[in-house]
Amino acid sequence: MTGKGLEISGFAVSWRDIGLWRQKQLETFFNTPMRVMLPGVSVPSDINTWVGWGRKESGRRAEHMARRHGLRALLLEDGFLRSFGLGVNGARPLSLVIDDVGIYYDATAPSRLENLLNAGDFSRQELQQAQAALDILRREKLSKYNCGLSVPEGFFPDDEERVLVVDQTAGDASIRFGLASTKTFEDMLACARQENPNATIYVKTHPEVLAGRKQGCLPPREMKGVRWIAGNWHPHSLLEYFDKVYVVTSMMGLDALVMGKEVHCFGMPFYAGWGLTHDRQQCPRRRAKRTLTELIAAAYLQYAVYINPETGERGTFFDVARFISRQKRMVQFWEKCKGAPWSGRVFAFGFSLWKQAQVRPFFGEGVKVHFVRTVHQARRKGVTSSDRLAVWGMRDPEGLAELERELGLKAVRVEDGFLRSVGLGADFVPPKSLVFDDMGIYFDPSRPSRLERLLAEAEFSPELLKRAARLREFIVRHNLTKYNLAAENAPTPRITPRPGQKVILVPGQVEDDASILLGASEVRTNAALLQNVRKENPRAYIIYKPHPDVMAGNRKGGALARARELADHVELHADIIACIEACDELHTMTSLSGFDALLRGKKVVTYGAPFYAGWGLTQDRAAIARRGRKLPLDALVAATLILYPRYRRMEGFVSPEHAAAILLRERSTRSPRRWLHKWGRLVHWFLRGLLSLQTGK
């Protein structure tokens, strides 16, 4: 089943349609294997469909081959909620329309979509889903493509009447088959000026024209009362400033309908002729009057098919809408940072050579990231107040504060997330999650951070808390952590406490780690922490667990000799989660294992100011300013694991639930490649040495 009423046992594409047969996701859309037919080869008996692309040569070839072999022809096009980025930039389609009658933009003949709208066969459930889809399109400002930026504040004068005229790419098939021509655009512009003599006419250029890939139908030129919009702005952001919109066949007319605007059509797009638009042409086949909800039901729910971007399997409109909304939020983060309207560029400091390729996708689709070592290098590359600054952790280059003041910017700090990977970052294992903080960073309690602001001020809805509870239960059930170093059959700590003796776990930390330098109080070393714990709990059974980076030889931790004197047991083999499960309490300076212990219902005592302290969930030995709100555990989980980090795979930003499932799968299938990581570190330090020689540092 490919769509409502379309049954396919097998489908074929011509060997000449390279763009089609290279898209293996077609098999997911059709839920059946694809056959690429070579010249002279007989069509297998299980093939009942020949597939081609739209009204191009591919589509004509499919119709010809279908007639020749007595098969059905299906024409494909991108769906109306296609992707976050542009297809010409390589963004793969997340939805397709599949048509066995014609194709939606061809008003010269019927199409399956046109037949669906004429029939009006909508169940009550479909109309409810269509209303929900319409609400999402409006609330999340979703369009066919969704990578445009927001209109800069103040671009449009407040005291003017405005009309929007939408240009399209020259040669677009929807123009010719939409009963229009290039001349229609000139007529449309002339009518818009004549019918709105007191308005300023704004002409919107197509995104692919702005990208330099194609030409428009209305080349920019000087005209009285006409302004040309060259900004790559998202349709919904732009349409907010207009009440009246003129189109030929552009999809932006559908966006305008979704937003409740008055739409004038000079061609015959699929959404015209149903009583929703002011039409300058007629299509006698379109007999019914339809509501906007019915149009959405037919176009988005009955006509289009979808792939769930996270699983790669068949999905729904709502799967794709959630995914694209997430991508938009990650990019809009940069727009909301302090500074002038965003240029689309980020200058990133402090990112090591190996880390740059790993973290670049986390900045967002279409974001131009310039990795630089010094402020001088950023200036040489032309950094301005319209750009954004990013820093890895606390690796501020000399002069960064001065650059921030000069440009009126505040650097965004980037760090590993709390569900990072299966393996250590020091071993060059790429992250699944990072945090981007435009206020501070979560491990620096000396100033506010975005996570602290969320914990102090966010409203945690019942739905969000339930989601956090499900995520917490998944993490606890599968023993997931930041690095997930333990195998499924990891050993348990071999401890021998007396019956009734309290068991305390003291996790070791990297003593020169930023979380210690910034977040520790009077207790600042592993040895001092052990001394305090032993002093306060002389009869307890104390387990000391060294930090994995220290055990791997990557970082300094010390205290092993002293630990053997103060602790009852030093655990070198068991996983940290197994140690947490074996203890009654966990005492720490700022270790993330305190958060892991809270998830598992353990008592946690802090001697510093980790992000999870000060919210009524821990016993805190150090005073923590600015924190005092009492939170339930799942509010902490919601802020820390859902709202604060960003999770990414190759296909884009994903949900924390999906990232956790991926980590679980990778942990169960991983093979040790320590030798590869050791060689990677040697190469890294060699390249760093060469770089130091070149820069004199």
Q: What are the residues facing 585 on neighbouring strands? A: 504, 603
* Rounded-to-10 torsion of CA 655, 126, 81, 61: 130
- At 26, is the pLDDT very low, low, confident or very high (cuts 50, 70, 90)? confident
pLDDT digits (tens, 9 = 90+) for 614-667: 999 999 999 888 999 999 999 999 999 999 999 999 889 999 999 999 999 998
Which residues, including other chains, have CB under 8 Å from residue 448's CB and lie 6 or more apart?
A: 439, 440, 626
For 414-436, how does the pLDDT look when each residue is reduced to its tens digit (9 = 90+)? Answer: 999 999 999 888 778 999 999 99
Check: CB of residue 278 under 8 Å from CB of residue 264. Answer: yes
Q: Which pLDDT tens digit goes with each residue over 350-387?
A: 999 989 999 999 999 889 999 999 999 999 999 999 99
| pLDDT for the residue numbered 615 | 97
Q: How far apart are CA 357 and CA 652, in angstroms?
A: 15
Give the pLDDT score at 439. Answer: 96
- Give the per-residue SS3 of 457-480: HCCCCHHHHHHHHHHHHHHHHCCC
How many whole angstroms separate alpha carbon 691 and alpha carbon 697? 8
According to DSSP, the β-strands at 368-372 and 345-349 are parallel
Contact 541/503 with Cβ under 8 angstroms? yes
The tokens of 121 are what?
Answer: 């066969």
Residue 692, pLDDT > 80, answer no
pTM of the model: 0.87
Average model confidence (pLDDT) for the chain?
90
Q: Which residue has the higher pLDDT, 296 or 515?
A: 296
Contact 12, 46 (CB under 8 A): no
Q: Which amino acid is at 410?
A: K
Q: Are 574 and 538 in contact (CB under 8 A)?
A: no
**Angle, vertex CA 138, rays to CA 136 and CA 144, nearest 5:** 85
Provide mean pLDDT across the span 222-248.
93
Instruction: Give the pLDDT confidence score for residue 633 in this predicted structure.
Output: 98
**What sign does the CA torsion over 191, 196, 198, 200 have?**
negative
Amino acid 559: pLDDT: 65
Contact 300, 255 (CB under 8 A): no
Question: Which of 85-89, 174-178, 453-457, 662-666 has the weakest average pLDDT?
Answer: 85-89
Instruction: Report, in angstroms and rounded to the nearest whole number, the Rg of the chain calculated over CA atoms.
Output: 30
Sheet holding 11-14, edge to edge: 34-37, 11-14, 49-53, 72-78, 95-99, 304-307, 314-315
C-alpha closest to that of 252 among 143, 147, 161, 175: 143
Indicate if the alpha-carbon torsion angle 458, 460, 461, 467 is positive or negative: positive
Query: What pLDDT is stored for residue 44 in this prediction?
Result: 87
CA-CA-CA-CA dihedral for 634, 637, 643, 648, to nearest 10: -140
The residue ranking higher by pLDDT, 247 or 152, is 247
Domains of the chain, earliest start first:
11-125 (no CATH), 126-307 (3.40.50), 480-637 (3.40.50)
In this predicted structure, what is the pLDDT of residue 425? 82
Is the confidence at residue 5, as pLDDT, over 70? no
Q: Residue 61 and residue 57: Cα distance in Å, rounded? A: 6
The strand ranges marked E within 438-574 are 503-507, 541-545, 569-570
C-alpha distances (whole Å) from 527 to each of 120, 509, 557, 628 are 75, 10, 10, 30
Q: pLDDT exceeding 70 applies to what percent of the chain? A: 93
pLDDT for 562: 81
Between the alpha carbon of residue 189 and those of residues 167, 244, 269, the distances in Å are 10, 13, 18
Alpha helix stretches (DSSP H) within 201-299: 207-210, 235-239, 252-258, 292-296
pLDDT at 630: 97
**Could you tell me which residue, 451 or 40, shows the higher pLDDT?**
451
Predicted confidence (pLDDT) at residue 162 exceeds the cutoff of 80: yes
- pLDDT in the model for residue 557: 53
Q: Residue 695: pLDDT above 50?
A: no
The Cα 303–Cα 21 span in angstroms is 22
Mean pLDDT of 443-458: 96
pLDDT digits over 522-550, tens only? 999 999 999 999 999 999 999 999 887 66
**Span 589-615, mean pLDDT?**
97
Distances (CA, A) of 136 to 38, 127, 683: 44, 14, 49
What pLDDT, on a 0 to 100 scale, did the predictor assign at position 613? Answer: 97
The mean pLDDT value for 61-81 works out to 93
For residue 232, CA distances in Å to 155, 207, 236 come to: 13, 6, 12
Which residue from 7, 136, 22, 6 is spatially nearest to 81, judged by alpha carbons? 136
Helix boundaries (H) for 37-143 = 57-69, 112-119, 124-139
**Predicted local distance difference test score (pLDDT) of residue 444:** 94
Is a pLDDT exceeding 50 seen at residue 672? no
Q: Is 325 left (phi over 0), alpha (psi -120 to 50) or beta?
A: alpha
- Rounded distance, CA 252 to CA 263, Å? 10
What confidence tens digit (pLDDT) does each residue in 178-221 have?
A: 999 999 999 999 999 999 999 999 999 887 777 777 899 998 88
3-state secondary structure of 548: helix
